[in-house]
Amino acid sequence: MKKLIRSNSDRKLSGVLGGLAKYTGIDASLLRVLFVILLIFTGFFPLVLIYAAWIFVVPEESDVM
DSSP, residue by residue, 23-61: HHT--HHHHHHHHHHHHHHTTSHHHHHHHHHHHHHSPBH
- Is the CB of residue 38 less than 8 Å from the CB of residue 47? yes
The rounded distance, in Å, linking the Cα atoms of 4 and 64 is: 10
Mean pLDDT, consecutive 10-residue stretches, the chain (65 aa), reads: 87 91 94 95 91 93 75
The reported pLDDT for the residue numbered 1 is 79
The reported pLDDT for the residue numbered 30 is 96
Q: Residue ranges of the domains in the chain?
A: 13-57
Of 9, 2, 1, 25, nearest to 60 by C-alpha is 9
The reported pLDDT for the residue numbered 53 is 95
The reported pLDDT for the residue numbered 2 is 84
pTM attached to this predicted model: 0.85
The reported pLDDT for the residue numbered 26 is 94
